[in-house]
Structure 1
Amino acid sequence: MRNELLLSPHSSVPMYAQIVEQVVAKVMSGAWQAGAPLPSIRELASDCQVSVITVKRAYLELERSGVIVTRHGKGSFVADALDATRGLATAEFDSQLQGLLDAAARLGMARNELLDRVGEAFDASPGASQSTTTSTDKGTTA
């Protein structure tokens, strides 16, 4: 897998974050399949004309998110699809949750009010109410 990343030194997004975003996009789109090897840290740094430290930081972030796995002495590889998808979904959820908490703090919303609003939204959500209904239905018929 040759370097297919296009980094912009003029972007306000840090270089390591550009690497993370582009690798995630390639994995999620299926362009980079589970188990595929990533370029070595040194190779990618050379190809992208960034420091080894920048690529290492990106790879560590990707590994924490479950997008890639690193095997000592073997290199870094795209994680199994289930692991990568779950890691990305969890990271996205955490980011959205933090945004919710930040917005609630700006509004001066009390914890109970926030929890009530989240509960109401959960109950009104088609996916959540369906899973709740399914659980309830199973409990009722058993």
Structure 2
Amino acid sequence: MRIIISNFSNQPIYDQIVTQIKDLIMQSKLKEAEPLPSIRNLAKELQISVITTKRAYDELEKEGFIVTVPGKGSYIAAGNKELLLEKRIKIVEEKLSEAVLAGKSIHLSLEKLREMLTLLYEEE
């Protein structure tokens, strides 16, 4: 598992870990029941505080993405990929709704909005 921490990001370090682990789950690079590094090992590898790593794992467990078994470690939880996908789709829908409202407020045509979306989508 490869996690990259940026000290220049506005995103807190624990949140960077959470986001990247969720991304690895979505990309199927982490699979159900796969063990995660121990909190201490990940902290050492990333050269960060054990407390920061524990906070990331606690957040992931609270959201249902990992399961921690006392004395054994933390593992990827079952069924989390679908949950994460659904959450991300909801975010996309909300942002598209904002774009539609902004477009309507300046009388932007649906065709022009589609054109803009197509250009942005194909940019990547």
Report TM bin, short chain. 0.5 to 0.7
Aligned match of 2:59 in 51, 58, 61? 61
For this pair of structures, how many residues does the alignment match?
Answer: 94
Aligned equivalents of 2:88 and 2:28: distance in 1? 18
Superposition misfits of 4+ residues, deviation over 3 angstroms: 89-93
> What TM-score results when the alignment is normalised by the length of structure 1?
0.59
The 5 Å alignment of 1:19-98 reads: 19-80=17-78, 82=79, 84-88=80-84
Alpha-carbon deviation of 1:92?
A: 5.2
User: Where in structure 2 are there 5+ consecutive unaligned residues?
Assistant: 99-124
Aligned match of 1:125: none
Q: Sequence identity, in percent?
A: 41
Aligned-partner residue type, residue 4 of structure 2: L
Check whether the contact 2:26–2:85 (CA below 8 A) recurs between aligned residues: no
1:14 aligns to what? 12
Which of structures 1 and 2 has the bigger CA Rg? Answer: 1
Aligned to 2:2: 4
The Cα of 1:75 is off from its aligned counterpart by 0.1
By percentage of residues, which structure has more helix? 1
For residues 76 and 27 of structure 1, what CA distance do their matches in structure 2 show? 14
TM-score w.r.t. the length of structure 2 is 0.67
How has the CA–CA distance of structure 1 residues 33 and 5 changed in structure 2, closer, same or farther, with 3 Å as cutoff? same
Query: Shift in Å at residue 9 of structure 1?
Result: 1.1
Contact 1:37 1:76 in 2 (8 A): yes
Contact 2:26 2:84 in 1 (8 A): no
Higher relative contact order (CA 8 A, sep 6+): 2
CA positional deviation for 1:64: 1.1
- CA deviation digits over 1:63-97, x for unaligned, max 9? 111111111111000111x2x1354357558x85x
